[in-house]
Structure formats: structure tokens, C-alpha cells
Amino acid sequence: RKAVSIPGLMTMREQGEKITMLTCYDASFAALMDRCGVEILLIGDSLGMVSQGHDSTLPVTVDDMVYHTASVARGNQKALVVADLPFGAYATPESAFENAARLIRAGAQMVKLEGGTWLLPTIRFLTERAIPVCAHLGLTPQSVHQLGGYKVQGKTSAAAELLKTEALAVQEAGASLLVLEAIPATLGKEVTDSLHIPTIGIGAGVDCSGQVLVMHDLLGVFPGRKARFVKNFMEGQTSIDAAVSAYVQAVKAQSFPAPEHWF
Ligand code: KIV
Ligand code: NA
């Protein structure tokens, strides 16, 4: 296949082809996901939980993210590589640029950061300086203390309106992708329909432009509590290749997520 690019993702969105994204933290899994046709590999700060064993993403450092990003980039050939800026790494536009540049040097092609209105100057600062940005709205795990737990977001009409406004604003500021986590499926659809950039949902319904899962959830190896939006794709499969391929197929066919996975 051709290398996945940002314009290529825009074309997929326009043509109605669903985009597949998975988290990935090392070279072997990067090679596997790439050959299974996953479009986007996300070095998520979820590695703090699934790999390092912390109970949140907050302890993850930029050094950790650089290490895993370099590993994934070495294993990958065609997928687009996106890396999370971890907690505390983008408090100002300048520090965001310094840290994002480290991730880009390590092989990321885009960085992801969590938040809306307060990040608009930062998104503009990065994109004007040639660092593509994926925004992340809804349940933003780096804000777990402020949110009071990992809860569905955008449930009141005021919260839904704010999220819709922020989605348009991050697009306007230059974001080329938007992750929507744990929001009502109807809101996921409304936001997606209001934007021209692709949305990637996790617990945001089937009408987003694409889907993302944490690889340990997809493989059924994460020992912690399972969120409603998680599906173990190893069930009924005899290899990890087959499970990842089944995920890709299910997202393309829009059989995942199903109503039992959304809010
Ligand atoms: O860190 C992560 O894995 C993520 C995805 C769940 C979107 O941010
Ligand atoms: Na993350």
C-alpha cells in the first residue's frame, strides 16, 4: 500500500472509508499493524497504564514517549505515526514545540494533545511551525483529577455545545485530526458532520470518520477494568495478525463499534 498521509486521510474521509488507528508502543507490533493495514499508529501515553503499570497516564515523561516513538517508527513502513505529548509537556506553546520537535525527530509525523479552548494558541503555534496536530476532546485522561474519574463527557446540553464549539475551534486553529473519547454517539456524529477534518472515535459511536483502540484492550491482555467501548478481538482468532485484521475489517464494515460499545 501507499504511505498514509494527512491528505490521504482527508480523502478517505471524503470518500466515506473508515480510518483505523491503534495504539502501538514497539517495533514488532508496529510492523504487524502496518502489514495488517492499520492506517495510524498512535504512541499513546496510555503506555503509562498498559506497559508501565501506573494507574493513570500522568507519570509518563517526554523521554518515555521519545523512546517508544523511535521504536515504533523503526518497525513501521507505511502507517502514519502519531505520538502523544504527555502530561505537563505542553503547558506553553514554546514548551509544546520543544517537546513535539523531539517526538518528530524520533519519527512521529503528528503529535496529539488533550484539550480545547486553552490549547488554541498552542495548536496554531505548532502547525505554523510545521508540526501537524491531532486534538483530543471529550474524556481527556490527563485531566482525570479535574474530571473526578474516567467518565463519559458531553452528556448535558451545555457540555455538548461547548464540545462542538471547541471541535470547530481546534480545526480552525490548524488541527488535522480530532480524537473524540467517551461521548454520546449522537454527539460524535454531530461533531463529525460539522467538521472537514477526520474524527477518530473511542467510545464516540460509529459515525466518526475512524476508530481507535488501545492494543492491549484489542488483544484482551490489559488486566484492569474494561471500559464499555472496549472489544477483545482475540476472541475467535488464533493469531494476533488475525485479531488486528478482524479489527480493521470490522471498522471498515462499520460493525465495530456496535451499540453495546457506545453511550
Ligand atoms: O493514550 C492513548 O492510548 C490515547 C487513545 C485512547 C486515544 O490517547
Ligand atoms: Na493518550
The CATH architecture of the domain made up of 6-261 is: Alpha-Beta Barrel (3.20)
Clarify whether 181 is annotated catalytic: yes
pTM of the model: 0.98
Q: 10 Å Cβ neighbour count for 259?
A: 9
Kindly provide the ipTM of the predicted complex, given to two decimals: 0.99
41 lines ligand 1 (CB under 6 A): no
Which ligand is the nearest neighbour of the Cα of 229?
1
Q: Locate the ligand 1 atom nearest the alpha carbon of residue 112 and give its number.
A: 8
pLDDT of residue 224 exceeding 90, the answer is no
Exactly one of 39, 166, 181, 190 is catalytic; name it: 181
Calculate what percentage of the chain has a pLDDT beyond 70: 100
Q: Locate the ligand 1 atom nearest the alpha carbon of residue 44 and give its number.
A: 1
142 lines ligand 1 (CB under 6 A): no
Antiparallel, parallel or unpaired: β 199-202 and 40-43: unpaired
Mean pLDDT across 188-199: 98
pLDDT of residue 52 exceeding 90, the answer is yes
pLDDT, one tens digit per residue, over 114-169 is 999 999 999 999 999 999 999 999 999 999 999 999 999 999 999 999 999 999 99
The full DSSP string for 172-236 is HHT-SEEEEES--HHHHHHHHHH-SS-EEEESS-TTSSEEEE-HHHHTT---SPPPTT---TTTT
Helix (H) or strand (E) holding 144: helix 144-147
pLDDT, one tens digit per residue, over 230-250 is 999 999 999 999 999 999 999
215 lines ligand 1 (CB under 6 A): no
* Residue-averaged pLDDT of the chain: 98
pLDDT, one tens digit per residue, over 56-71 is 999 999 999 999 999 9
| Cα Dmax for the chain | 48
Cα of 182 from ligand 2 centre, angstroms: 13
23 lines ligand 1 (CB under 6 A): yes
Cα of 220 from ligand 2 centre, angstroms: 19
